[in-house]
């Protein structure tokens, strides 16, 4: 009986140790949640994808990664539209230098793109928040970086999901794209940035970086990543 108890204890200790080893410490766990709703045309989708590819390999972003305590972060890239479409494009990936950043960017540039109906910001936040469960990484900071060109018109209200995630210690930052053209017959949403500020972002130091259009998207992503990786909250962040 004692041998069984000792064996059970040893197995439990081994399982605990294995679990602890699986959680690699990083400075940041970051989910990039990217809008692929039909309001984004093919040219804009290409500019959007290129913006993330170039930002991930930018020297300022890589330098910010290497300046952290652990000199590494973990990134997960998701795409979203309506509640029916929430997709992991690139699962959790360790970024610990220029080589890893370039491999991530190459994988992203080769991933197929899609376009789906509806805009479910709340569902996108919920899906992104679930990605932290069993990620295999541990960090003091967990951040969702959500970008999009419209407000919720499907699924749960963004602010309700936001509040639940913030209560779990997750920070949500936003990158609204201010469209300067009509969209499916609707006039441009000139207050989308305010919607993101009031209904989407949340948590300690949460912020919004606005892209005036998709031509400016790449620079906005780069600025945002530097701030997120560095843990900066000041608007005077390097670009």
Q: Looking at the 3D structure of the chain, how many domains does it have?
A: 1
Residue 102 covered by a domain: yes
Residue 89 covered by a domain: yes
Distance in angstroms (rounded) separating the CA atoms of residues 233 and 236: 9
Residue 19 covered by a domain: no
CATH number of residue 186's parent domain: 3.40.50.410
From residue 165, alpha-carbon distances to 28, 91, 136, 144, 180 in Å are: 16, 20, 19, 10, 31
Domain that holds residue 108: 24-230
Record the tokens describing residue 161, joined without a space. 């999901």
The upper half-sphere exposure of residue 168, i.e. CA atoms within 13 Å in the direction of its Cβ, equals: 15
Residue 124 covered by a domain: yes
Distance in angstroms (rounded) separating the CA atoms of residues 41 and 187: 16
42-56 helix and 98-110 helix, angle to the nearest 10 degrees = 160
Condensed to tens digits (0 to 9), the pLDDT of residues 60-89 reads 999 999 999 999 999 999 999 999 999 999
Beta strands in 57-140 (DSSP E): 73-80, 86-95, 137-138
Residue 9 covered by a domain: no
Residue 34 covered by a domain: yes
Residue 40 covered by a domain: yes
Distance in angstroms (rounded) separating the CA atoms of residues 137 and 129: 14
Residue spans of the chain under pLDDT 70: 1-22, 179-188, 233-239
Confidence (pLDDT) at 84:
97
Residue 158 covered by a domain: yes
Handedness of CA 50, 57, 92, 159 (dihedral sign): negative
Are the C-beta atoms of 146 and 158 separated by less than 8 Å?
no
Distance in angstroms (rounded) separating the CA atoms of residues 168 and 178: 30
Are the C-beta atoms of 224 and 173 separated by less than 8 Å?
yes
């Amino acid at each position: 009986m004692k041998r069984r108890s000792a064996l059970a204890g040893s197995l439990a200790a081994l399982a605990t140790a294995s679990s602890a080893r699986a959680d690699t410490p990083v400075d940041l766990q970051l989910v990039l949640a990217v809008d692929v709703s039909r309001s984004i045309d093919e040219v804009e989708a290409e500019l959007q994808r290129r913006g993330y590819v170039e930002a991930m390999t930018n020297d300022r972003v890589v330098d910010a990664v290497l300046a952290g305590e652990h000199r590494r972060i973990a990134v997960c890239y998701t795409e979203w539209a309506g509640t029916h479409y929430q997709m992991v494009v690139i699962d959790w990936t360790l970024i610990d230098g220029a080589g890893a950043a370039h491999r991530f960017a190459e994988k992203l540039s080769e991933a197929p793109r899609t376009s789906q109906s509806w805009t479910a910001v709340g569902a996108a936040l919920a899906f992104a928040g679930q990605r932290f469960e069993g990620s295999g990484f541990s960090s003091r900071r967990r951040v969702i970086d959500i970008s999009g060109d419209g407000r919720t018109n499907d699924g749960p209200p963004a602010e309700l999901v936001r509040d639940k995630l913030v209560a779990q210690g997750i920070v949500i930052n936003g990158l609204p794209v201010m469209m300067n053209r009509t969209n499916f017959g609707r006039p441009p949403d000139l207050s989308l940035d305010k919607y993101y500020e009031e209904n989407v972002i949340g948590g300690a130091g949460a912020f919004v970086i606005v892209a005036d259009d998709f031509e400016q998207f790449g620079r906005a992503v780069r600025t945002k990543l530097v701030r997120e990786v560095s843990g900066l909250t000041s608007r005077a962040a390097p670009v």
